[in-house]
Structure 1
Amino acid sequence: MKKSTTGLLLGSALVVGLSGCATSGAQSSYDQKAWYNHPLVCGVAGGLIGGGIGYGTASDSDEDKGAAVGATLGTIAGALLCAEPNAEEPAAAPLDSDGDGVTDDIDECPGTPAGVAVDAVGCPLDSDGDGVPDFQDQCPGTPAGVKVNSLGCEDDVALRGVNFEFDSAKLTPAAEQNLMHVAEVLRNNPNVNVRIEGYTDSTGAASYNQKLSEARAISVANFLASQGVNPQRMSAAGYGEENPVASNDTDQGRAENRRVMLGEQR
């Protein structure tokens, strides 16, 4: 058998073997790589293949040169065949800058305050559809189509449940609890300035009632300020027994007239 034929047969056998190793290596886990799939081993095998092919196919005068060139190329090719592929970097998780549970790529209302309930596109809920989000709405449940102010109210609103000690401007504990919600709404409307107006019933002297109503309005403003509402956003005034909303001839009517009103300053 000729030397060239021998070299080709040897090279072919080694090519088949190396191909099997490379294929097996592609199918196996690189965490538990078989020894014959290591790039160093494949490089050695590739060198033998290349050297054998180069030696077997070279002319008699160039056998050594052919073997050297073939061995070099075979080593590189073998090592590359068994090299581990570059691990794909995991895709970055979509950002949710305002932490509302809706990722930035679909969030139509970025910058929603923490804790505010949002819809599927990241916008604050507006349950009554008046254009004022729930977390800023002092008057939830406004009828459809009614024009409202920045607080979500049709007009000035009586602060229900805001009562005082008898003949005093001291807020009751229950009144303070109710005002905490008002303070939260005002904090969520930082660009809205409000009026706080105090009223009494007609019992007693008008001058005394005027001073008492003013003291009560100021008491409400001070409490709201203690809850984080900027005092410069609020004005407080007393109107005594003016502008009654019910008859002063009945207990129920007088109770309705003893009120604190909240309205937007324009």
Structure 2
Amino acid sequence: MKKSTTGLLLGSALVVGLSGCASSASQSSSGMSASDAKPWYQHPMVCGIAGGLIGGGIGYGTTSDDDEETGAAVGATVGTVAGALLCAEPNKEPMNAPKDSDGDGVYDANDQCPGTPAGVAVDAVGCPLDSDNDGVPDFQDQCPGTPAGVEVNSLGCEKDLVLRDVNFEFDSAVLTAQAEQVLAGVAERLRANPNVGVRIEGHTDSVGSDSYNKQLSQERAASVARFLASQGVQPNRMRAIGYGEEQPIATNDTDAGRAENRRVELGEWQ
């Protein structure tokens, strides 16, 4: 048989064989699910080998006697690539990457607390940390470090919280710079706990008249509420109450005792 005839026959085999392979792969990708097993003869490696053999035969059969080896090598290379490409599945999508919808570092499949607010520290299962195990997450807890077994309110406190270092200018309701810094931290946790209403209670020592002290304590409680509102806490969640000198927690006979009595307390308002 002449080389030209051999090349023609092998070329026809290449066209028919590889076209059929590509057609099968196309049908497989359009009519079968990704989980369906692919026949062995549609595998790109098998088609590549077949293409190499056929391409080598074409190269051999269509070249002169002097270039038989070169033609066969070139044909085999081209046939291998063409066979593999034709039988590869078109438009095959890569596997979906795991998702972390709330960006807390725990994939959705393992996240037991989806929707965690941005920036909140979480544990291995994606739930906000609760360092004192009181049932109130750290980012909402106004009283971190509550002893084990103590029942707390929605603020994470066993009882009303005395806001330490929340002081005022002398004989006024003007907050000091240090007081505003403390209250900014309080506001952050209140914003993170939007379903809790709070009482803001003002208290004084016994120096001065009862009526004056009550008015001053009311103004101071209202001043705290206004500052918290300026930090994003909704005003309708807060109730400011002035008790004056009615509820001392220490003696009014000493400077230290009077200093303790001049205070602002934060409690849950239900």
TM over 0.5: yes
State the partner residue of 2:166: 162
Alignment of 1:107-126 (within 5 A): 107-126=111-130
Please state if 1:83 is matched with 2:85. Answer: yes
Q: Distance in 1 between matches of 2:192 and 2:56?
A: 69
Could you report, residue by residue, the CA deviation over 1:49-70 in whole angstroms, capped at 9, with x for unpaired residues? Answer: xxxxxxxxxxxxxxxxxxxxxx
Counterparts of residues 38-49 of structure 1 (less than 5 Å): 42=55, 45=58
Task: Kindly report the root-mean-square deviation, in angstroms, between the aligned alpha carbons of the 2 structures.
Answer: 3.3
CA contact (8 A) 1:42 1:81 kept: no
Q: Using the alignment, how far apart are the partners of 2:166 and 2:227 within structure 1?
A: 11
User: Aligned equivalents of 1:176 and 1:115: distance in 2?
Assistant: 23
Contact 2:116-2:127 within 8 A present in 1 as well: yes
> 2:143 matched to which residue of 1?
139
Question: How far off is 1:91 after superposition?
Answer: 1.9
Select the residue among 142, 145, 152 that pairs with 1:148. 152
**CA offset digits 1:170-196 (Å, max 9, x no partner):** 000000000000001110110000000
Percentage of matched positions with identical amino acids = 66
Give the Cα separation in 2 of the matches to 1:98 and 1:205. 55
Residue 238 (structure 1) aligns with: 242
Aligned to 1:223: 227
Aligned with 2:255 (options 235, 251, 265):
251
- Separation in 1, partners of 2:113, 2:180: 33
SS of the counterpart of 2:126? coil
Instruction: Report the counterpart of residue 203 of structure 1 in structure 2.
Output: 207
Q: Is the 8 A contact 1:195 1:265 kept in 2?
A: yes
Q: Measure, in 2, the Cα distance between the counterparts of 1:23 and 1:154.
A: 70
Q: Distance in 2 between matches of 1:250 and 1:78?
A: 98
Query: Could you say if the C-alpha distance between residues 94 and 202 of structure 1 is closer, same or farther in structure 2, counting changes exceeding 3 Å?
Result: same
Q: Residues of 2 paired with 1:140 and 1:23: CA distance?
A: 63
Q: Distance in 1 between matches of 2:182 and 2:257?
A: 22
Contact 2:204–2:244 at 8 Å: present in 1 too? yes
Counterpart among 175, 178, 185 of residue 182 in structure 2: 178
| SS class of match (1:83) | helix
How many residues get paired?
215
Instruction: Give secondary structure in 2 for the equivalent of 1:239.
Output: strand
TM-score by length of 2: 0.71
- With over 3 angstroms needed to count, the CA separation of the structure-2 counterparts of 1:175 and 1:24, relative to structure 1, is same
Q: 1:211 & 1:250 partners in 2: Cα distance?
A: 23
| Larger Rg, first or second structure (1 or 2) | 1
Residue 102 of structure 2 contacts residue 116 of structure 2 at CA under 8 Å; is this kept in 1? yes
Gaps of 5+ in 2: 15-43, 62-78
Inter-CA distance 23–257: structure 2 relative to 1 (3 Å threshold):
closer
Structure 1's 42 and 83: CA in aligned 2 closer, same or farther, altered over 3 A?
farther
User: What SS does the aligned partner of 1:254 have?
Assistant: helix
Which residue number corresponds to residue 73 of structure 1? none
Query: Which amino acid in 1 is paired with 2:201?
Result: E
| 2:47–2:83 CA contact under 8 A, matched in 1 | no
Uncovered stretches (5+) of structure 1, i.e. residues with no partner: 28-35, 49-76
Q: Secondary structure at the match of 2:108?
A: coil
